[in-house]
C-alpha cells in the first residue's frame, strides 16, 4: 500500500529527466521501476528525518541559554530526568527505529521482487566484453538458432531476459540505466544481469568500469521491441549475408576477403570468418558504429574505415593503407549488410 | 637559505625529475602506420661476398624493440592471429620453437618481420597484406621477447593464457646463434 | 642294453612331446585363419579376413583390420634366436607410422614428407632397391600438418601401389616398375587440408579421407575409381544431408542420430562449414555386405563454447555402402566433443558368440577411453567399457547410446580445468590394436595421460590453426604413461596389462605363433607372449618406433618381422621438431608429457627386418 501511494514519485522524477534513453530515472524496465520506487521511499523517509534533525539543530542553536543552567558540569550526581525530555527521547527513538525498519523492509521486498523477476528468464543472451566493444550471442536450445552479433541488442518487451556477462580481457561493466542496473564483466568469471523491459523504445548503455584508453567510447544500444518484431529481427539476423549485388559491392567484398579485414571480422555465409572483432553480417542494420562512437552513416563509415585511429585512438582496428577506390567499394559492400 | 626552504626546494626538484621520467616511451596510436616499412624479400643469415657485412638495422625498427605498448599489442596479436596454434607459447609444434636460440631464418627484428610478411618455404604463411606493417613489427618485437631479447621493463608481466611458462620478465636472454646478428 | 633302452625311451618321449607343441620348421608353419566356428571367443569375420598368404597388402593386414599374421614359425620359445637380417635407410627423419607392404617378394615403403615410395627386392640378398618414386609434394604442406608430417601407409591392389601425399594428392604407381599410373588432387593446403591417412581399396574404389580438424577444415571421405583415379563419390561429415550422402537407406539405431539435415541443425549457423570431422584414420570393409566402417574426427574448434549443439556428424562411426557412399547408419560416440576425442580409431570386424550363433560386430578401442562392441549391421552399442583411467566421462547409457560428460571436467572459457583424464590424445590415439583370432583378445597399445585445458575464442583464418585451447599433458595415475592391454571383448575386461614408462604411439602386431609385437617411443622393439604378456624379446632400434610392425613370409619361406623406426608424430614431435619443453603447451600439450624423450632417442627413419636363423 505504501508502495502504491508512492508510485507517483518515480513518475515525477522521470518527468524531471530530459531524456529517457540513458537515465536512471528512465523507468523503462521492471528492475529500474523497482529501484525507483525504493529510491522514492528512501528519499521520503530520509528527507523527513533530515528535516527533523535540522529543525532540532536550529532550535538548539537559536534557543537562548537560561542563566544558571549554563556551564553545568557533570558532577556525577544524577538529576531527575525532565519528564518531557524523557518522553521526547523515547519518542525520537521510536521514530528512528520505525524509519529504519521501514527502509529495511522495503529494501528486502524490492530485492526479493527483483530476484523473482530474474528467476525465470525466457531469453538468454551472452554478452562478452572486449576492449572496446560488446560481443553478443543469443543462446538457444536449438543450436542452429543461436545468433552472433555485436554492439546492438534487441529484446522483447515484457519478457524476462537474462544477460550472461563475460570478459575477454579486463574488467568492464554493463550499465543500462533505463532498464536495469549495472553489473561488472570480470575475466575468468561469469556474472549476470536480468532485464524485464516495460516500454518499447531505444535505450543506450555503456561501459561503467574503466577499461583502457577508449573506455569512454564503449557504448551499446538496446532496442526493446514488441514480441513479433523481435522474432522477425531474430529470424532476419540468422540469415547469412546477402551476396553483393553490384560490381562495386563485389569489389568491396573481394577487398575484404583478401586483406586485413578478414583476419578479424566475420561475415556469415562467406569465407570471411575472423572472430577477433565485431561480427559484420548485419552490420548496416545497427544504429551506431564502433560501439556507439559514431552514428551509422555513409560518411562516418568512410571516416572510420579510412582511419579508425583518429576516431578512436588506441582501438585494436589498425589503419589500413587503402586506395580511395577500395575504400568506396568496401563501404558500398558494407552498406548492403542489412 | 633556511633549512625548510632548502628541503622543499630539494623535494620539488626531485618531484620534477620523477615526473619527467614518467614519459619513458611513446605509445603510438597510429595514424601513421609505416606502410611499406617491412622490407620485401627473403633476407636470411647468409654469406656476404667480398667481405661484406649484413645490412644495418632499419631505424624504424627501434620504435618497436623495447616499447612496452608495442610488445603488449604484439602479445595480443600473437594469440589472435593463430601464431599460438603452430608455435605454442614459444615451445613450437607445427612450427619451430621461438623461445630458444635457434633461428632458421634469422633472429633480428627485421628478419623476423620479413619472415612474418613473406612466409618461409616449409610452411610459414605469408602475412603481407593480411596484417599491416605496424602489426607485423609489433609481432616481431613480441616474438623476440619470447627468447628474452627486449629489456625486462618493457615486456609484458602477465600472460593471457593459463600460466605455464616462465613469465617474460624472468625469461633469460638467449642470444640468437646466428652469423647475421649485427645489432644484437 | 640299458643305454639303448634309454635312448629309445628318450626318443619316444621327445617324439611325443614334439608332437604336442607346434614345432618350428623351416617350411611354412601357418595357423590357419579359419578357427573352429564353435570357439567360445571372438573370431575375425571370415569374409573380411581370408586365409593368410604371407603377404601384407593393406595397412590393417586384411579388411577386418586384424593386424594378425597367421604365420607361426616364430614363437615365444624360439624368439630368443630372432636376429636382424637387413636394414634400409628411408632417408627421412620424420615420424614413420606406415607399415611396410610385402607383395610376392617385393617390399614397399612409403615415407613421411616428402612421401617417397621405395620398392625393395626381397628375393635378392640384402633386399636391394628396385625402384623409387618421388611425388614431390608441396613443401608448404608441412606448415598445415598438425601432428607431424607422417604418412600412415600405402595399399596394394591389382598391380598398383596407391598412397596419399601430404599436400592432398592420391597417386597410383605401377608396382613392378614404379611408373605413375594416375594422380588426383583431392585436398587444398590453402584451406589447411592435408592427407596423412592410408587409403583402402574396396569394391574397386580407392577410399581417401582428409586431415585438418585443427585447421577449421570440413571433413570428408572420397572414393576414387581404382583404374582411373576419377572421383566417384564424396561424403562430407558436416552439412546438409545431400552433402553427407544421407538418404533413404540411412537407418541410425539411436533416436539422437535421426532427423533431417542434422549436419547443419546441430551447429550454430554457418559454423558447420569449418566444422571438422576429418577422416584421417582407419577404414574396415565387409565384402559380404559391401559396407565400409570408419569413424570421423573432432569438430572444430577445440573450444566447444563456440559451437553449441551436438555437432553432427563429427566424432562418430559411419557405415556406408562402398559403391555409392550412401550412409547406412551412424552412431555419435561423443556428441559435442570437448576434448578433441576424434573417433578415427580402427574398427575390427569380428563375429562374437551370441545366443546359439554368432553376431557380426565391430570391436573399437575408442579414443574416449571406452572399448565399444557394436553390432555392425545396425550400429547398436552392445557394450562400452572403460579400458583405462578416466574422469572426464561418467558412462555410456546403452539405451540411448549417449555418453555423459562429467560437468566438473568440462573446459569453459575463463577458467582452467585441471586433471582431465584421458587427455586430448585419449586413452588411445591413431595407433591401431591387433586382434588375434587364436586367443580372441584385442591387444591395445595405448597411453595413460591426463591434462589441464583452458579454452579461449578461436579466430578463423583459412590456412592457420582453428583451435582456441591451451593444453598441458602429463602422466596419469599410476606413474606410467603407456600400457599394452590384452582385452577380452566378451568379458569386457583386461586379461593382462603391462605398463610402459613412455606413452605408446606404435601399433601392435599379433602373430599366429602367439606373439604380440610393438615399439616404444625410445626405440625398443618388443615382443610379448600373447597369452601372458610376458616380455620374451626386445631390440633397441636407432630411433623411437611409432610405425606398424608387420610379419610376412619371405621368398625363402621364413617368417620375417619388419618395422621402420623413426620417432615423430604428435607424441614424438618434441624430438622430430626440436621443440622447447620449457613451454608446456608446445605440441598441443604433448611436449610436457614427454619432456624426457629428447634424452632417450633421436630422429631416424630406418627399416629393420628380423628372422630366425636358417
Average pLDDT over chain A, rounded to an integer: 89
List the one residue out of C226, C41, C48, C80 whose CA is nearest residue C610.
C80
CA distance C268 to C238: 12
List C500's β-bridge partners, or say none.
Answer: C482
Residue-wise pLDDT tens digits, A139-198 = 999 999 999 999 999 999 999 999 999 999 999 999 999 998 899 999 989 999 999 999
Q: Looking at chain A, which residue has its C-alpha nearest residue C269?
A: A144
Count Cα atoms within 13 angstroms, Cβ side, for B75: 18
Q: With bands split at pLDDT 50, 70 and 90, how would you rate the model's confidence at C3?
A: low
Report, as an integer, the average pLDDT of A24-40: 84
Q: What is the domain range of residue B145?
A: 57-184
Residue-wise pLDDT tens digits, A278-316 = 999 999 999 999 999 999 999 999 999 999 999 999 999
**Is C320 in a helix, a strand, or coil?**
strand
Task: Return the pLDDT at A287.
Answer: 95
Beta-carbon count within 10 A of C107 CB: 24
List C131's β-bridge partners, or say none.
Answer: C119
* Chains with at least 3 CB pairs less than 8 angstroms from chain C: A, B
- Least Cα separation, residue C168 to chain A (angstroms): 21
Whether residue C308 and residue A143 make contact (CB cut-off 8 A), yes or no, is: yes
Report, as an integer, the average pLDDT of C356-372: 95
Report, as an integer, the average pLDDT of C240-269: 96
Give C578's contacts in chain B (Cβ within 8 Å). Answer: 92, 96-97, 100, 102
Beta-carbon count within 10 A of C355 CB: 6
Residue-wise pLDDT tens digits, C581-593 = 999 999 999 999 9
Beta-carbon count within 10 A of A328 CB: 16
Q: Are C500 and C521 in contact (CB under 8 A)?
A: no
Percent of chain A with pLDDT over 70: 89
Choice between C391 and B106, residue whose per-residue pLDDT is larger: C391
Q: With bands split at pLDDT 50, 70 and 90, how would you rate the model's confidence at C18?
A: very low
In a domain, B120, yes or no: yes
Q: Count the domains in chain B.
A: 1
Q: Is C416 on the interface with B (CB under 8 A)?
A: yes
Beta-carbon count within 10 A of C91 CB: 11
Task: Return the pLDDT at A37.
Answer: 87
Q: With bands split at pLDDT 50, 70 and 90, how would you rate the model's confidence at B183?
A: very low
**Is C304 in a helix, a strand, or coil?**
helix
Q: With bands split at pLDDT 50, 70 and 90, how would you rate the model's confidence at B21?
A: low
Distances (CA, A) of B7 to A130, A260, A338, B15, B17: 48, 57, 68, 12, 16
Task: Return the pLDDT at C250.
Answer: 97
What is the spatial order of strands in the sheet that C509-511 belongs to?
C68-69, C509-511, C515-519, C524-529, C535-540
Compute and round to an integer the Cα radius of gyration of chain B: 20
Choice between A78 and A237, residue whose per-residue pLDDT is larger: A237
CATH number at residue B181: 1.10.760.10
Residue A319 has pLDDT above 90, yes or no: yes
Residue B99 has pLDDT above 70, yes or no: yes
Least confident of B175-179, C126-130, C383-387, C517-521: B175-179
Give C461's contacts in chain A (Cβ within 8 Å). Answer: 262-263, 273-274
Full set of structural domains in chain A with CATH? 1-62+88-238 (2.60.40.420), 247-335 (2.60.40.420)
Catalytic residue ranges of C: 214, 298, 340
CA distance C141 to C168: 9
Give A321's contacts in chain B (Cβ within 8 Å). Answer: 33, 35, 132
CA distance B2 to C176: 106
CA distance C352 to C488: 11
Report, as an integer, the average pLDDT of A224-247: 95
Beta-carbon count within 10 A of C200 CB: 27
List the one residue out of C562, C496, C561, C503 whose CA is nearest residue C534.
C496
- Tell the burial category of B129 from Cβ atoms under 10 Å away from its Cβ (0-12, 13-18, 19+): exposed
In a domain, B143, yes or no: yes
CA distance C465 to C211: 12
Choice between C10 and C325, residue whose per-residue pLDDT is larger: C325
List the one residue out of C251, C264, C372, C374 whose CA is nearest residue C321.
C251
Q: Kindly give the residue spans of alpha helices, DSSP state H, lying in C266-401.
A: none
**Is B78 in a helix, a strand, or coil?**
helix
Query: Is the complex ipTM higher than 0.85?
Result: yes
Average pLDDT over chain C, rounded to an integer: 93
Q: With bands split at pLDDT 50, 70 and 90, how would you rate the model's confidence at B29?
A: low
Q: Compute CA A32 distance to the chain's CA centroid, rounded to the nearest angstrom.
A: 11
List the one residue out of C579, C566, C499 whose CA is nearest residue C533.
C499
Q: Are B55 and B109 in contact (CB under 8 A)?
A: no
List C442's β-bridge partners, or say none.
Answer: C435, C487
Report, as an integer, the average pLDDT of C88-94: 95
Q: Is A76 on the interface with C (CB under 8 A)?
A: no
The reply to whether omega before A149 is within 30° of 0 (cis) is no
Residue B34 has pLDDT above 70, yes or no: no
Residue with cell 587444398: C188
In a domain, B151, yes or no: yes
Full set of structural domains in chain C with CATH? 6-611 (2.140.10.10)
Q: Is A295 on the interface with C (CB under 8 A)?
A: no
The reply to whether omega before C548 is within 30° of 0 (cis) is no
CA distance C510 to C505: 16
Task: Return the pLDDT at B184.
Answer: 39
Task: Return the pLDDT at C25.
Answer: 35
List the one residue out of A314, A129, A188, A134 whose CA is nearest residue B73.
A314
Q: Residue C610: which residues within 8 A CB-CB, separation 6 or more? A: C82, C83, C84, C85, C539, C560, C561, C562
Amino acid at each position: 500500500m505504501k508502495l502504491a501511494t508512492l508510485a507517483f514519485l518515480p513518475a515525477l522524477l522521470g518527468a524531471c529527466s530530459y531524456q529517457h534513453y540513458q537515465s536512471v530515472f528512465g523507468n523503462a524496465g521492471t528492475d529500474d521501476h523497482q529501484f525507483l520506487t525504493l529510491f522514492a521511499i528512501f528519499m521520503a523517509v530520509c528527507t523527513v528525518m533530515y528535516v527533523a534533525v535540522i529543525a532540532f539543530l536550529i532550535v538548539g542553536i537559536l534557543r537562548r541559554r537560561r542563566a544558571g543552567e549554563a556551564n553545568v558540569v557533570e558532577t556525577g550526581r544524577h538529576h531527575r530526568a525532565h519528564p518531557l525530555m524523557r518522553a521526547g527521547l523515547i519518542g525520537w527513538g521510536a521514530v528512528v527505529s520505525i524509519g529504519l525498519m521501514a527502509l529495511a523492509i522495503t529494501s528486502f521486498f524490492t530485492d526479493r521482487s527483483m530476484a523473482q523477476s530474474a528467476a525465470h528468464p525466457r531469453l538468454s543472451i551472452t554478452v562478452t566484453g572486449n576492449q572496446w566493444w560488446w560481443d553478443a550471442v543469443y543462446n538457444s536450445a536449438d543450436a542452429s538458432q543461436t545468433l552472433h552479433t555485436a554492439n546492438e541488442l534487441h529484446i522483447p518487451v515484457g519478457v524476462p531476459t537474462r544477460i550472461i556477462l563475460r570478459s575477454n580481457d579486463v574488467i568492464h561493466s554493463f550499465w543500462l540505466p533505463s532498464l536495469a542496473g549495472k553489473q561488472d564483466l570480470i575475466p575468468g568469471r561469469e556474472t549476470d544481469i536480468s532485464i524485464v523491459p516495460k516500454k518499447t523504445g531505444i535505450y543506450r548503455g555503456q561501459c561503467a568500469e574503466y577499461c583502457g584508453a577508449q573506455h569512454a567510447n564503449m557504448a551499446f544500444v538496446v532496442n526493446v521491441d514488441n514480441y513479433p518484431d523481435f522474432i522477425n529481427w531474430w529470424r532476419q539476423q540468422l540469415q547469412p549475408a546477402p551476396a553483393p549485388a553490384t560490381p562495386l559491392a563485389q569489389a568491396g567484398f573481394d577487398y575484404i576477403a583478401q586483406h586485413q579485414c578478414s583476419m578479424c571480422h566475420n561475415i556469415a555465409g562467406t569465407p570471411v570468418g575472423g572472430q577477433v572483432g565485431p561480427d559484420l553480417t548485419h552490420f548496416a542494420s545497427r544504429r551506431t558504429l564502433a560501439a556507439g562512437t559514431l552514428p551509422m552513416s555513409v560518411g562516418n563509415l568512410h571516416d572510420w574505415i579510412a582511419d579508425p585511429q583518429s576516431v578512436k585512438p588506441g582501438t585494436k582496428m589498425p589503419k589500413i593503407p587503402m586506395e580511395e577506390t577500395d575504400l568506396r567499394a568496401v563501404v558500398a559492400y558494407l552498406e548492403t549488410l542489412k | 637559505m633556511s633549512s625548510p626552504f632548502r628541503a622543499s626546494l630539494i623535494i620539488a626538484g626531485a618531484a620534477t625529475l620523477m615526473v619527467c621520467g614518467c614519459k619513458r616511451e611513446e605509445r603510438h596510436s597510429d595514424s601513421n602506420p609505416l606502410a611499406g616499412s617491412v622490407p620485401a624479400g627473403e633476407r636470411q643469415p647468409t654469406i656476404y661476398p667480398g667481405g661484406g657485412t649484413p645490412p644495418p638495422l632499419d631505424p624504424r625498427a627501434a620504435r618497436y624493440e623495447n616499447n612496452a605498448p608495442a610488445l603488449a599489442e604484439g602479445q595480443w596479436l600473437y594469440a589472435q592471429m593463430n601464431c599460438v596454434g603452430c608455435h605454442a607459447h614459444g615451445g613450437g609444434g607445427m612450427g619451430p620453437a621461438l623461445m630458444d636460440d635457434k633461428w632458421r631464418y634469422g633472429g633480428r627484428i627485421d628478419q623476423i618481420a620479413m619472415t612474418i610478411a613473406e612466409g618461409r618455404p616449409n610452411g610459414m604463411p605469408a602475412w603481407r597484406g593480411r596484417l599491416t606493417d605496424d602489426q607485423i613489427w609489433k609481432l616481431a618485437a613480441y616474438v623476440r621477447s619470447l627468447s628474452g631479447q627486449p629489456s625486462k621493463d618493457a615486456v609484458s608481466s602477465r600472460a593471457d593464457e593459463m600460466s605455464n611458462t616462465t613469465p617474460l620478465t624472468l625469461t633469460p636472454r638467449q642470444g640468437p646463434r646466428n652469423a647475421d646478428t649485427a645489432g644484437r | 642294453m640299458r643305454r639303448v633302452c634309454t635312448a629309445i625311451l628318450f626318443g619316444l618321449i621327445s617324439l611325443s612331446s614334439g608332437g604336442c607343441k607346434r614345432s618350428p620348421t623351416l617350411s611354412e608353419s601357418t595357423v590357419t585363419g579359419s578357427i573352429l566356428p564353435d570357439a567360445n571367443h571372438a573370431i575375425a569375420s571370415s569374409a573380411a579376413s581370408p586365409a593368410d598368404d604371407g603377404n601384407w597388402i593393406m595397412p590393417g593386414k586384411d579388411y577386418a583390420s586384424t593386424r594378425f599374421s597367421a604365420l607361426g614359425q616364430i614363437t615365444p620359445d624360439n624368439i630368443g634366436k630372432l636376429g636382424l637380417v637387413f636394414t634400409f635407410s628411408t632417408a627421412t627423419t620424420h615420424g614413420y607410422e606406415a607399415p611396410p607392404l610385402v607383395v610376392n617378394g617385393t617390399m614397399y615403403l612409403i615415407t613421411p614428407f616428402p612421401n617417397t615410395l621405395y620398392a625393395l627386392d626381397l628375393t635378392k640378398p640384402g633386399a636391394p632397391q628396385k625402384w623409387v618414386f618421388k611425388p614431390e609434394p608441396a613443401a608448404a604442406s608441412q606448415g598445415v600438418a598438425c601432428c607431424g608430417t607422417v604418412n600412415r601407409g600405402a595399399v596394394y591392389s591389382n598391380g598398383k601401389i596407391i598412397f596419399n601425399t601430404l599436400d592432398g594428392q592420391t597417386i597410383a604407381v605401377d608396382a613392378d616398375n614404379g611408373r605413375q599410373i594416375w594422380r588426383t588432387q583431392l585436398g587444398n593446403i590453402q584451406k589447411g587440408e592435408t592427407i596423412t591417412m592410408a587409403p583402402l581399396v574396396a569394391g574397386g574404389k580407392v577410399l581417401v579421407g582428409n586431415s585438418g580438424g585443427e585447421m577449421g577444415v570440413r571433413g570428408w571421405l572420397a572414393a576414387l575409381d581404382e583404374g582411373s583415379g576419377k572421383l566417384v563419390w564424396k561424403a562430407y561429415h558436416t552439412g546438409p544431408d545431400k552433402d553427407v550422402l544421407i538418404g533413404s537407406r540411412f537407418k541410425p539405431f539411436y533416436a539422437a542420430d535421426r532427423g533431417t539435415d542434422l549436419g547443419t541443425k546441430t551447429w550454430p549457423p554457418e559454423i558447420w562449414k569449418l566444422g571438422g570431422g576429418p577422416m584421417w584414420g582407419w577404414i574396415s570393409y565387409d565384402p559380404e555386405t559391401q559396407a565400409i566402417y570408419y569413424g570421423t574426427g573432432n569438430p572444430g574448434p577445440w573450444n566447444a563454447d563456440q559451437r553449441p549443439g551436438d555437432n553432427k556428424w563429427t566424432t562418430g562411426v559411419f557405415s556406408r555402402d562402398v559403391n555409392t557412399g550412401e550412409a547406412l547408419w551412424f552412431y555419435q560416440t561423443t556428441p559435442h566433443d570437448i576434448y578433441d576425442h576424434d573417433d578415427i580409431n580402427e574398427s575390427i570386424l569380428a563375429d562374437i558368440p551370441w545366443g546359439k550363433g554368432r553376431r557380426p560386430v565391430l570391436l573399437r578401442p575408442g579414443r574416449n577411453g571406452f572399448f565399444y562392441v557394436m553390432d555392425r549391421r545396425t550400429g547398436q552399442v552392445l557394450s562400452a567399457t572403460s579400458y583405462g583411467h578416466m574422469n572426464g566421462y561418467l558412462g555410456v547409457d546403452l539405451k540411448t547410446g549417449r555418453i555423459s560428460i562429467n560437468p566438473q571436467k568440462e573446459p569453459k572459457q575463463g577458467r582452467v580445468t585441471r586433471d582431465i583424464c584421458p587427455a586430448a590424445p585419449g586413452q588411445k590415439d591413431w595407433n591401431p590394436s591387433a586382434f588375434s583370432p587364436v586367443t580372441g583378445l584385442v591387444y591395445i597399445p595405448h597411453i595413460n595421460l591426463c591434462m589441464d585445458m583452458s579454452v579461449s575464442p578461436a579466430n578463423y583464418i583459412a590456412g592457420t590453426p582453428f583451435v582456441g585451447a591451451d593444453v598441458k599433458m602429463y602422466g596419469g595415475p599410476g606413474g606410467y604413461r603407456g600400457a599394452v592391454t590384452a582385452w577380452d571383448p566378451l568379458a569386457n575386461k583386461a586379461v593382462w596389462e603391462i605398463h610402459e614408462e613412455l606413452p605408446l604411439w606404435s601399433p601392435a602386431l599379433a602373430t599366429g605363433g602367439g606373439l604380440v609385437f610393438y615399439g616404444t617411443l625410445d626405440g625398443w622393439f618388443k615382443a610379448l607372449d600373447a597369452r601372458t604378456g610376458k616380455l620374451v624379446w626386445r631390440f633397441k632400434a636407432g630411433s623411437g618406433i611409432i610405425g606398424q610392425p608387420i610379419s610376412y613370409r619371405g621368398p625363402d619361406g621364413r617368417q620375417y618381422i619388419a618395422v621402420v623406426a623413426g620417432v615423430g608424430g604428435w607424441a614424438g614431435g618434441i624430438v622430430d621438431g626440436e621443440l622447447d619443453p620449457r613451454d608446456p603447451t608446445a605440441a598441443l600439450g604433448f611436449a610436457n608429457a614427454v619432456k624426457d624423450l629428447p634424452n632417450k632417442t633421436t630422429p631416424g627413419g630406418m627399416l629393420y627386418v628380423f628372422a630366425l636363423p636358417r
